[in-house]
């Protein structure tokens, strides 16, 4: 196929400022600015409170993405014009010029790839830039999102909580029996029903829109525990009525409370069981309770109860075994009363040769509550008796009871405890995903490089070029424009063509005396 060459015989070299494709170069700068602005907005918004942004970062990102797409399209148009005129100036086939102009749009991608190296390069660069532009938008949108974080501050609060409960507040002791246990009975009822603990917290706020965490001094106890082991054969009648699960409390001679827990912790294939015996001695003390406050509701953080610090231990005269009748009951005597009514149990085993099975029976409910799950029980029906550890639950329940009593007693005697609370407020914040941001910026950068490749060597043309039909017609010496711009006007820019062409009375450009007319009947040029 014969090659064609644009008319460049007398093409002067214009100054650089006139040769530069300013629309394309400005568009490239705009693409860079959109990349930088997107990265800044996403990075700056990271960990920022949503309410502090009048316009969300996602809106800015969408605007920058759209602006970058528009700039990319403008730069592509300028780059295609540069490639078209470079091909036309150096001589190339008409088919290549057509596919450079078409740049693989629609179904013309594969014909453009086969047309020649010039058309193939343009089609690939433009198509890949479209792909990068398309990929960058969703990646950029995914780079910023909203989530909820706990924002932390520290507040000074005051809570009515008794650091020691006075002897007699629980009731009085007569002949070793606790009488007038009204306060304690009320707290047992509240504990049993898991009633929320309501208190009037004083301070700068009431944690209405947040949760406050802190440690406050209140009446409690300290404890020391040790463990021993026993063995028991389960599949025999000789050990019937032996204890297999026990929780018991009693006051020691030294005015401390002894808590004893006994339970079958393991059974081997021969029905020989291991019984864990845990013994704890409790002393009256002031403890640093870990609390959480929401609005006016206060609760204990049970996961920290067993490790909370004890400020001081003390001995209460009302807890002594030889306390005279009518003495005010101490906190440990009240704990025993609480444990006897709700936490004690003594389950014994029975083996039935007729049924070839071991069973247990006890007066309380704890043995049923702590019986191991079916999957954890021994497979042998002769000795399916095994329990999980109850000691921690019993101690935590005692702490719960004592805290409720200290809260009630603190209101009665107006004992205020000042403490510092860590206030956490669930706050909606923006989060940046560095992976998506990096992917979006990489796609935008690739698109920028692809578009810049089309504009490369624009300075070799000698002037700024467009794909205007008038400029193309002038460059190829179309006869219809010779009367307007002269025979030497093949190197004219579109602005020069329009200036030389003049304007009519209605403002339209005069191209020729006899314009081309498409006849609808025979489709020939008049």
Closest CA to 105 of 119, 91, 85, 88: 119
Please write the tens of the pLDDT for every residue from 249-271: 998 888 899 999 999 999 998 99
Q: What is the pLDDT of residue 33?
A: 93
Does the CA dihedral 166-168-170-176 come out positive or negative? positive
Helix (H, G, I), strand (E, B) or coil at 95: helix
Q: Which of 42-56, 255-269, 497-511 has the lowest mean pLDDT?
A: 497-511
Mean pLDDT of 1-27: 62
Q: What is the pLDDT of residue 517?
A: 39
| Between 18 and 223, the higher pLDDT residue | 223
In this model, does residue 95 exceed pLDDT 90? no
Tally: H helices and E strands in the chain: 14, 17
Closest CA to 137 of 231, 38, 279: 38
Distance CA(60)–CA(83), nearest Å, equals 34
Mean pLDDT of 463-487: 68
In this model, does residue 17 exceed pLDDT 70? no
Distance CA(489)–CA(475), nearest Å, equals 8
Q: What is the pLDDT of residue 258?
A: 95
What does the mean pLDDT of the chain come to? 82
Q: Where are the beta strands (DSSP E) in 234-341?
A: 243-251, 257-267, 272-294, 297-300, 310-313, 327-328
Q: What is the pLDDT of residue 234?
A: 93
In this model, does residue 192 exceed pLDDT 60? yes
Distance CA(156)–CA(202), nearest Å, equals 9
In this model, does residue 247 exceed pLDDT 90? yes
Mean pLDDT of 173-196: 85
- Pair 245, 362: CB distance under 8 Å: yes
pLDDT band at 1 (very low <50, low <70, confident <90, very high): very low
Helix, strand, coil percent content, the chain, rounded in steps of 5: 40, 25, 30
Instruction: Indicate yes or no: pTM above 0.85.
Output: no
Q: What is the pLDDT of residue 373?
A: 87
Q: What is the pLDDT of residue 16?
A: 57
Helix (H, G, I), strand (E, B) or coil at 43: helix
Q: Identify the top-confidence range among 287-291, 315-319, 451-455, 508-512.
A: 287-291
Closest CA to 418 of 266, 201, 183: 201
pLDDT band at 60 (very low <50, low <70, confident <90, very high): very high
Mean pLDDT of 86-96: 76
Distance CA(259)–CA(394), nearest Å, equals 9
Mean pLDDT of 437-447: 92
- Pair 344, 194: CB distance under 8 Å: no
B/e letters for 285-302, b = 16+ CB within 10 Å, e = fewer, are bbbbbbbbbeeeebebee
Q: What is the pLDDT of residue 44?
A: 92
In the chain, where the domains are located: 3-143+433-467, 150-428
Distance CA(27)–CA(40), nearest Å, equals 20
| Between 490 and 287, the higher pLDDT residue | 287
The gap from C-alpha 367 to its chain's centroid, in whole angstroms, comes to: 42
Distance CA(377)–CA(267), nearest Å, equals 9
Q: What is the pLDDT of residue 521?
A: 40
- Pair 252, 129: CB distance under 8 Å: no
Using CB atoms within 10 Å of the CB of residue 334, give its burial: 0 to 12 exposed, 13 to 18 middle, 19+ buried: buried
Q: What is the pLDDT of residue 367?
A: 94
- Pair 179, 337: CB distance under 8 Å: no
Beta bridge partners of 358: 351
In this model, does residue 220 exceed pLDDT 90? yes
In this model, does residue 11 exceed pLDDT 50? no
Please write the tens of the pLDDT for every residue from 117-134: 787 888 888 888 888 988
188 Cβ contact partners less than 8 Å away, ≥ 6 residues apart: 338, 341, 342, 401
pLDDT band at 525 (very low <50, low <70, confident <90, very high): very low
**φ, ψ at 101 (rounded to 5°):** -65, -40
pLDDT band at 204 (very low <50, low <70, confident <90, very high): very low
| Between 312 and 347, the higher pLDDT residue | 347
Mean pLDDT of 167-188: 84
CA distances from 2 to 93, 94, 111, 522 (A): 6, 8, 19, 29
Q: What is the pLDDT of residue 79?
A: 83
Q: What percent of the chain has pLDDT over 70?
A: 84
């Amino acid at each position: 196929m014969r090659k064609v060459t644009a008319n460049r015989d007398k093409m002067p070299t214009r100054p650089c400022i006139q040769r530069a494709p300013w629309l394309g170069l400005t568009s490239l700068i705009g693409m860079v600015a959109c990349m930088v602005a997107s990265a800044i907005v996403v990075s700056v918004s990271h960990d920022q409170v949503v309410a502090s942004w009048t316009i969300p970062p996602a809106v800015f990102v969408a605007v920058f993405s759209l602006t970058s797409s528009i700039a990319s399209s403008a730069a592509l148009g300028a780059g295609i014009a540069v490639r078209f005129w470079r091909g036309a100036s150096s001589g190339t086939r008409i088919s290549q010029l057509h596919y450079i102009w078409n740049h693989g749009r629609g179904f013309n991608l594969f014909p453009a790839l086969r047309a020649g190296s010039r058309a193939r390069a343009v089609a690939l660069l433009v198509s890949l830039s479209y792909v990068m532009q398309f990929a960058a938008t969703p990646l950029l949108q995914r780079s910023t999102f909203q989530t909820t974080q706990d924002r932390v501050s520290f507040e000074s609060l005051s809570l009515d909580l008794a650091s020691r409960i006075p002897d007699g507040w629980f009731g009085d002791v007569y002949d070793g029996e606790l009488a007038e246990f009204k306060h304690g009975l009320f707290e047992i009822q509240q504990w049993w029903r898991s009633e929320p603990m309501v208190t009037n917290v004083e301070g700068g706020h009431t944690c209405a829109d947040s949760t406050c965490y802190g440690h406050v001094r209140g009446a409690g106890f300290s404890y020391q525990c040790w463990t021993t082991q026993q063995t028991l054969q389960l599949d025999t009648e000789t050990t019937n009525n032996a204890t297999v699960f026990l929780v018991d409390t009693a006051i020691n001679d030294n005015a401390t409370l002894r808590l004893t827990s006994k339970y079958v912790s393991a059974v081997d294939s021969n029905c020989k069981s291991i019984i864990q015996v845990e013994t704890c001695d409790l002393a009256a003390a002031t403890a640093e309770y870990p609390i959480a406050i929401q609005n006016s509701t206060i609760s204990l953080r049970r996961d920290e109860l067993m490790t909370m610090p004890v400020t001081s231990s003390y001995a209460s005269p009302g807890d002594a075994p030889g306390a005279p009748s009518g003495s005010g009951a101490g906190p440990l005597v009240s704990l025993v009363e609480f444990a006897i009514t709700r936490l004690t149990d003594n389950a014994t085993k029975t083996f039935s040769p007729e049924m070839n099975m071991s069973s247990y029976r006890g007066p309380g409910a704890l043995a049923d509550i702590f019986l191991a799950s079916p999957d954890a029980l021994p497979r042998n029906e002769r000795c399916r008796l095994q329990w999980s550890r109850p000691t921690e639950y019993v101690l935590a329940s005692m702490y719960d009871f004592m805290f409720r009593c200290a809260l009630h007693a603190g209101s009665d005697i107006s004992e205020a405890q000042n403490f510092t609370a860590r206030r956490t407020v669930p706050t909606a914040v923006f989060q940046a995903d560095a992976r998506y941001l990096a992917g979006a910026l990489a796609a935008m950068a690739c698109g920028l490089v692809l578009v810049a490749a089309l504009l490369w060597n624009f300075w070799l043309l000698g002037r700024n070029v467009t794909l205007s039909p008038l400029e193309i017609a002038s460059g190829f010496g179309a006869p219809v424009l010779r009367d307007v711009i002269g025979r030497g006007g093949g190197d004219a820019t579109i602005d020069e063509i329009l200036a030389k062409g003049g304007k009519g009375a209605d403002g339209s450009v005069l191209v020729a005396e006899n314009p081309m007319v498409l006849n609808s009947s025979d489709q020939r040029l008049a």
